Amino acid sequence: MIVTEPTMPLIFHAQPGGTFLFMGCFMYQYPKQILTIGQQVQSYVNAGMKITSREEVEKALKSIGFYRLRGYSFPLYDNVTKKYVPGTKFEDILKLYQFDQKLSALVFFMISKIEVALRVRLIEALLIYGEPLVLQDSSIFKEKKLYWQNMSMVASEIARSNDVFIKHNFDNHDGEVPVWAIVEVLSFGTLSKIIKNLKTGVGSSYSILATNYQYKSKKGNLVNPSQKMLTSWLQSVSILRNMCAHNSRIYNRTIHTTPEILDADKVTPLPVHNGLYQILLAMKYLRSSDEEWTVFVDDFDNLIKSYNGIVNFAAMNLPSDWKVHLTV
């Protein structure tokens, strides 16, 4: 790494509490030049992309961004020749982006339903003890250190909440917040961590929660998912949820999460990387209802069909019989 001399004096400003604010910097000389919109368009042309209207391309770049669109051009770009596949048009890249936007909105809408159902089911499972302040009871959790780490996150998320029911409890119940109010304001990730640390066993909150996510064993019996399995589903869906919420690309994307997949849904050969298919399966296992999931699968199928010839299954890790696996 090349480091230049400081481009400005190193200045430290004293802050309250004895800390210092660093005002100077060592500047790394980044090798790539900053391109104007016009130069960005020209770089497409130089790499062999067909441009029908420079004006339309510039308009898209100003609203979407050159760097964001690059992620959709990877399947159409040859890194050896540094050229786009012959016949590639800017409209092809733009259509992939538009597909991804619609896909993200569709997935996020379904995850929202899964999340709401999870909150209701978790509250029901925790209330078997008949105690509104049950989350203050560390005895229902496995690891005490992890319990306190999770409760620290719970306290932080409650403190940040502006919901009227949280304020009501602060004002009228000496700051004590019942479990049904707490669960409503916790992030998906925090909910997953709480569930992961619940004690298991007959009659436990976890066993009651897990009955909502039963699946058929090889013998055809309905069985509860193990805690490891259920939390792997929750954690992977949480990752995808956050990607959708932050407008991250999910098409043609390796997603570093490994939800446990039921044997009936495993495909041969295995996908080269983890991606959308695996998390869609986790969403299926966590579905809010069969009816809502069926609508989602049909909408997903119709979306793919509307971009026939533009998108491909491999970019989403979908096997050719993906609909069979996602159907309930």
Q: Render pLDDT for 281-312 as a digit per residue (tens, 0 to 9).
A: 999 999 999 999 999 999 999 999 999 999 98
Q: Does residue 256 sit in the same domain as residue 171?
A: yes
Residue 22 lies in a domain: no
Give the pair of three-digit tokens for residue 241.
Answer: 């949820």
Last residue of a domain, one of 46, 69, 95: 95
pLDDT reported for residue 3: 41
Q: Does residue 64 sit in the same domain as residue 103?
A: no
- Residues near 326 by Cβ (< 8 Å), separated by ≥ 6? 280, 281, 284, 297, 300
Q: Does residue 54 sit in the same domain as residue 117?
A: no
Neighbours of 17 (CB within 10 A): 5
Q: Does residue 136 sit in the same domain as residue 262?
A: yes
Residue 48 lies in a domain: yes
Residue 4 lies in a domain: no
14-63 per-position pLDDT tens digit: 555 555 455 555 678 888 888 999 999 999 999 999 999 999 999 999 99
Last residue of a domain, one of 67, 95, 123: 95
Q: Which residues of the chain have pLDDT under 70?
A: 1-26, 270-274
Measured in degrees and rounded to the nearest 5, phi and psi for residue 208 equal -70, -45
Rg (CA), the chain: 25
168-179 per-position pLDDT tens digit: 988 999 989 999
- State how far the Cα of 297 lies from the Cα of 295, in Å rounded to an integer: 6
Number of domains observed in the structure of the chain = 2
Q: Does residue 192 sit in the same domain as residue 173?
A: yes
- State how far the Cα of 122 lies from the Cα of 154, in Å rounded to an integer: 15
Q: Does residue 136 sit in the same domain as residue 241?
A: yes
Residue 297 lies in a domain: yes
- State how far the Cα of 193 lies from the Cα of 235, in Å rounded to an integer: 9
pLDDT reported for residue 23: 55
Q: Does residue 275 sit in the same domain as residue 211?
A: yes
pLDDT reported for residue 267: 80
Residue 284 lies in a domain: yes
Residue 187 lies in a domain: yes
- State how far the Cα of 158 lies from the Cα of 166, in Å rounded to an integer: 7
Q: Does residue 171 sit in the same domain as residue 136?
A: yes
Residue 10 lies in a domain: no
What are the angstrom distances between the C-alpha of 66 and each of 42, 48, 78, 128, 231?
12, 16, 18, 54, 37
Last residue of a domain, one of 80, 95, 110: 95
pLDDT reported for residue 2: 41
Range of the domain at 71: 37-95
pLDDT reported for residue 21: 53
Q: Does residue 43 sit in the same domain as residue 103?
A: no
Which of 275, 245, 243 shows the shortest CA–CA distance to 259?
Answer: 275
pLDDT reported for residue 83: 96
Q: Does residue 156 sit in the same domain as residue 104?
A: yes
pLDDT reported for residue 5: 43
Residue 1 lies in a domain: no
Question: HSE-up of 117 (CA within 13 Å, CB side)?
Answer: 20
Exposed / middle / buried, residue 286 (Cβ in 10 Å: 0-12, 13-18, 19+): buried
Q: Does residue 86 sit in the same domain as residue 101?
A: no
Q: What is the pTM of this model?
A: 0.87
Q: Does residue 86 sit in the same domain as residue 149?
A: no
pLDDT reported for residue 281: 96
